[in-house]
Amino acid sequence: MHKRRRRILPFVPTEDRARRLKQMASLATALTSSKTEFSNELTYMPNMAPRSSNQARLEEGGMQILPREDKETIELCRTMQQRGECPPLLVVFDSCEGFTVQADADIKDMTFIAEYAGDVDYLENRASDDCDCIMTLLLTADPSQRLVICPDKRGNVSRFISGINNYTPDGKKKQNVKCVRYDIDGESHVLWWPAVI
């Protein structure tokens, strides 16, 4: 008997238009305050890592391939986002933590929230970077080819999802989101969804 794989679910946007506009405005405020341009994609800028360097097959130890059904779910969510239908999330300002993300409605476990978006660069180029929201994209055997996502100039709501130290017992209790790197069409991508601990 084998374990049945759980599928990624599409998010359910808020039906109330005024509430949805409030959610979108909260993200716009946070991005503007952070001097960050909105982007839901990985971006490849001149003088940074080229798109050709993002090859999931180079991941040390391998990377899981996103199944076809889950890829269709992600594409559905991207289409909804282009229509202005977003996950029910609010970006709020906390005087100690800065901008953080809160659910504005119940979101089921394994529901797609966002793809981590931003500029793709080599890790070694960011060794002395003070940006607190850099995310690993690709861990290669060759350290000079390791990639990170840098949402300091371009990014989306995932930039404001608070990192939780899940290596401590207290941190584990607070963890409510999960990010996983997947091979999608041969490239590495980082996807977020709620986690049930």
- The pLDDT, as a whole number, for residue 175 is 63
Which residues are CB-neighbours of 3 under 8 A, at least 6 positions away? none
C-alpha 159: how far from chain center: 7
Instruction: Print the domain residue range for 151.
Output: 39-85+108-194
- Residue 10 domain-assigned (yes or no): no
pLDDT 10s per residue in the chain (197 long)?
555 678 999 999 999 999 999 999 999 999 999 999 999 999 999 999 999 999 999 999 999 999 999 999 999 999 999 998 999 999 999 888 889 999 999 999 999 999 999 999 999 999 887 777 899 999 999 999 999 999 999 999 999 987 654 555 665 555 678 889 999 999 999 999 887 65
pTM of this structure: 0.89
- Residue 13 domain-assigned (yes or no): no
CATH assignment of the domain containing 52: 2.170.270.10
- Residue 123 domain-assigned (yes or no): yes
Residues pairing with 150 in the sheet: 119
Q: How many angstroms separate the CA atoms of 34 and 29, rounded?
A: 8
Q: How many angstroms separate the CA atoms of 162 and 99, rounded?
A: 8
Beta strand pairing call for 154-155 and 37-38: parallel
